[in-house]
Structure 1
Amino acid sequence: MKFPPIRFLFTAAFCVTTASQAPASDSADMIPVEFKQLSESVWMHTSYKHYEKFGPVPANGLIVAEGTQSILIDSGWTDAQTDAILDWARDDLKQPVTRAYFTHAHLDKMGGVGAVKSRDIETYALELSNELALANGLQPAENDIHLSVGQDVLSVGLVDLFFPGGAHSHDNLVAYVAKDSLLYGGCMVRSAASKRLGNTQDADVLHWDTAIGLVKQRFPQVDIVVPGHGAPAGPELLERTQVLVKRHVD
């Protein structure tokens, strides 16, 4: 079953409301945070940051709902955007976020950690991510995650967290929701529209292909793949990313 994108103000129960419109700190913050239902349990949130060279750049994260609560995977770019995401989960979805997990220490994934902490929501990231967050001027999560490369899986409710080693960054996690065969690849997975790997300043390009291979091996049943930037699609995004990696290395 396909779920349509939810972008503006509607009267449906799961629409974007005025609570989702964060105060502006730059022109991209004028764009309301967007929500799209990907499965029965999973919503994608998309927020924007303006870069002079590229214009408004979208970044994705997830809200995974179960029972009376939900789990946040990655923040918005800013505290204001993240407040809008948390408000929406509480007020519109009626399943407030009680735990938050961050997939790597870049602004598009951990820029709103402060907003999450301010609500006494438990925050988690790889120990390496928390170290890099401090080095990058970001707030770290309160709790460290310890995962061996390509081996361990941390199961949190409906979500399995897996560390395939360095790719887009040295600390990138992926998240998998088995009941929906949904993989959140974050920024280690490129969208179908991508022509190159994007920002590789903190990348482990030589391990990137291996990292994708480890993800495919660990989670062989994948129907929906959510990249860190751009539209969700199917498992072909994993293949697409490997092509781009090999092209970059060659």
Structure 2
Amino acid sequence: MRPLFYFLVFSLLIACSSKPKPETVYQSKTLQILKLQSGLYQHISYIQIPNYGPFPCNGVILLDQGEALVFDSPVDDYVAQELIQWIESQELHIKGIVVNHFHEDCLGGLQVFHQHKILSYAHQKTIELAAADGMPLPQNSFVDSLIISVGQYHSINSFAGAGHTQDNIVSYFPEHKTLFGGCLIKSLGAQKGNLADADTLQWARSVEHIKSKFPEVETVIPGHGPAGSSELLDYTIKLFTAPKT
């Protein structure tokens, strides 16, 4: 009986110490919204990749005290409108949207946010690259970092260096100890992916800078694929660290 007793106690301790699984609060064919923690949600839309099919793209919603802040637009106008409608159905005012980088999976539906008079924010380089690429343009720029608050919560939006693109930022939520890394951060087991605009030599160094800047991070949300712990940072660093010769 004693081994069984210890096994049950050990199993109970694991269950109590493990984080609760994200709760799906909205689901359609084009959009999924997960509750990660109180005041912090993840939105998932899908981009069509030739010879692959629908590929999930992550974003975040920070909300508190009747306000919401969105991080990355869904990939097109239709799903952007769907996301806005869901947020407003929760009796929330959307005070802004923060764009991670200039690719379609971050600002494809940005124009819809502008039509709703929602302010947008991005790194200065994101606006320059989006203009050159004929993409919708974020309205407000920053260079190093920008802090935007929603009620009692804060988002620290920082440029840590080039990687997936020359302009990719990360958004850290200190009260939740959660980092939205966007496409700069890879999910566990992911490959290097789209490198068309990448700086593969700088990539690992940029993620190392993030680790040192936000050492208390517990949850990391990549641009694509499942969220995880800070081991996603280590995985990304290893993936883009050249082997020693």
Q: What secondary structure does 2:37 align onto? A: coil
In 2, Cα distance between equivalents of 1:78 and 1:114 = 9
How much is the aligned-residue C-alpha RMSD, in angstroms? 1.6
Answer yes or no: is the 8 Å Cα contact 1:205–1:249 preserved in 2.
no
1:36 aligns with 2:9: no
Q: Deviations over 1:104-155 (max 9, x none)?
A: 00000010110110000111111110111111121011111222xxxxx321
Report the TM-score, using the length of structure 2 for normalisation.
0.87
| Match among 128, 132, 136 for residue 129 of structure 2 | 132
Q: 1:110 aligns with which of 93, 107, 112?
A: 107
5 Å-filtered alignment, 1:72-151, equals: 72-91=70-89, 93-147=90-144
Structure 1 counterpart of 2:146, one-letter code: L
Distance of aligned partners of 1:96 and 1:248 in 2 relative to their CA distance in 1, 3 Å threshold: farther
> Which position in structure 2 is the counterpart of 1:223?
218
Q: Per-residue deviation at 1:95?
A: 2.0
Tell me by how many angstroms 1:247 deviates.
5.2
Return 181-190 or 130-139, whichever deviates more.
130-139
Name the SS for the 1:38 alignment partner: strand
Q: Please give the per-residue CA displacement for 1:174-200, whole angstroms capped at 9, x wherever unaligned.
A: 000001100000000000131x21001
Q: Distance in 1 between matches of 2:205 and 2:130?
A: 25
- Determine the structure 2 residue equivalent to 1:26: none
Kindly indicate whether the alpha-carbon contact (under 8 Å) linking 2:26 and 2:34 is maintained by their aligned counterparts in 1: no
- 1:40-55 mapped onto 2 (5 Å cutoff): 40-55=38-53
Q: Is this contact kept in 1: 2:173–2:179, CA < 8 A? A: yes
Q: Deviation digits for residues 207-236 of structure 1, max 9, x if unmatched? A: 111100110111000110000000000000
Q: Secondary structure at the match of 2:156?
A: strand
Q: Is the 8 A contact 2:164 2:195 kept in 1?
A: yes
Please give the alpha-carbon distance, in whole angstroms, between the structure 1 residues aligned to 2:22 and 2:36.
8
Q: Deviations over 1:12-36 (max 9, x none)?
A: xxx226xxx5xxxxxxxxx230011
TM-score (norm 1): 0.85
Looking at secondary structure, tell me which structure has more strand per residue.
2
Unaligned runs of 5+ in 2: 1-18
Query: What percentage of residue pairs aligned between the two structures are identical?
Result: 28
Paired with 2:128 and 2:171, the residues of 1 have a C-alpha distance of 21
Q: Does 1:154 align with 2:146?
A: yes
- AA at the equivalent of 1:172: N
Which secondary structure does the structure 1 equivalent of 2:240 belong to? helix
Q: In the alignment, is the contact (CA less than 8 A) between 1:193 and 1:230 conserved in 2? A: no
**1:42, 1:209 → 2: CA distance?**
27
Q: Deviations over 1:34-93 (max 9, x none)?
A: 0111111110000012222211111000000021111010000001111111111110x3
The CA deviation at 1:249 is 9.7
Task: Report the counterpart of residue 16 of structure 1 in structure 2.
Answer: 26
Q: Number of matched residues? A: 223
> Per-residue deviation at 1:167?
0.5
2:22 — aligned with what?
Answer: 4
